[in-house]
Structure 1
């Protein structure tokens, strides 16, 4: 049953994300509200890498972490989004976002284990920075609720893509699967260093 679910989740994420990419250009399709919120997380390498790594990290931990870790990210990201929409200052947002890619990629690369509470706390902390960036960049004429629903759905789909990626790679075998997953985490962490240093 679980094996049948993996291709479905990957296909569902692709189906939701692919049509939206056609509207990424200014002046094409809906320019605010739900679609603008949806496009914000999928429009930046930093957000994509962090969200996918949350899913892969949750997959590595297994058990309740499969749903609890991504759910904590989405919930706290909504809180961060509210801070951004309200223009309440949060320091080091861009640094926090770049560090999230480095640290989440590192957790995956080294296969580090964490308790459910610690894992949820780590991703939740970084979620506040991501959410703040989404909220702060909301267009003035957009509906706050529609915009928030858009970026929360896109984030959840990126988490699903990460869960699916981790599961798919895991099917490569007990020996090769973890190596590929950890390599992907290492690449993400290096990309995070590039984002942090301004190279990317």
Structure 2
């Protein structure tokens, strides 16, 4: 499993870093864009929880899901980001983001082993909301491609952190790892309810 994680991490890094490196020195707009794009996903609890949960879910499912679930999220999120940058409205964005934390946390807590197509479809749906939020909040001075590369890289990094967390928990004893995993998922789902209701 570790070699699969390494291959996934390397492939994802190449895909995401290539455009960011190309735009890293082309001017103020692009540089500012990448920095703002990278910090946007990691500056909100809702985004951080959802991204890490996607990685944990991918690790729980294993097999092709290990790379396909996070890749689906990042790819569809880019589409949502483009919609946000173009000012195209998507309904219930904030509610959708909070709901993503609730659902993904519950899936991890209950250890639901959904078929790969369903898991990818669910994370893809949630990715639209997260991407739209990133895109619609792009600073006016930022370069669009660099900004997108930034939030895609940050998201991929959080997915990898979630996969690593899932892997570490799987290395614990079966009982301990399961308890910690379910507790973490349940706590995240509760945090999602707090986000949804405005308590957090």
Q: TM-score range by the shorter chain?
A: 0.7 to 0.9
* Aligned equivalents of 1:159, 1:192: Cα separation in 2: 18
TM-score (norm 2): 0.86
- Aligned match of 2:195: 195
- Aligned match of 1:131: 131
Answer yes or no: is the 8 Å Cα contact 2:31–2:146 preserved in 1. Answer: no
- Aligned match of 2:172: 172
- In structure 1, the gaps of 5 or more residues are 14-29
* Aligned equivalents of 1:83, 1:178: Cα separation in 2: 39
TM-score (norm 1): 0.86
The Cα of 1:174 is off from its aligned counterpart by 1.4
The Cα of 1:32 is off from its aligned counterpart by 2.6
- Aligned match of 1:23: none
- Within a 5 Å distance, the mapping from 1:54-73 to structure 2 comes to 54-73=54-73
* Aligned equivalents of 1:38, 1:44: Cα separation in 2: 12
- Within a 5 Å distance, the mapping from 1:67-146 to structure 2 comes to 67-146=67-146
Deviating above 3 A after TM superposition, structure 1's stretches of 4 or more consecutive aligned residues are none
Deviations 1:161-192 (A, max 9, x none): 00000101111111111111111000000000
- Within a 5 Å distance, the mapping from 1:17-32 to structure 2 comes to 32=32
The Cα of 1:31 is off from its aligned counterpart by 8.0
1:33 aligns with 2:33: yes
* Aligned equivalents of 1:145, 1:173: Cα separation in 2: 44
Say what the alpha-carbon RMSD is for the aligned residues.
1.9
Deviations 1:76-105 (A, max 9, x none): 000000000000010000000000000000
- In structure 2, the gaps of 5 or more residues are 14-29
Deviations 1:101-155 (A, max 9, x none): 0000000000001111000000000000000000000001100000000000000
* Aligned equivalents of 2:81, 2:56: Cα separation in 1: 23
1:48 aligns with 2:19: no
* Aligned equivalents of 2:121, 2:108: Cα separation in 1: 16
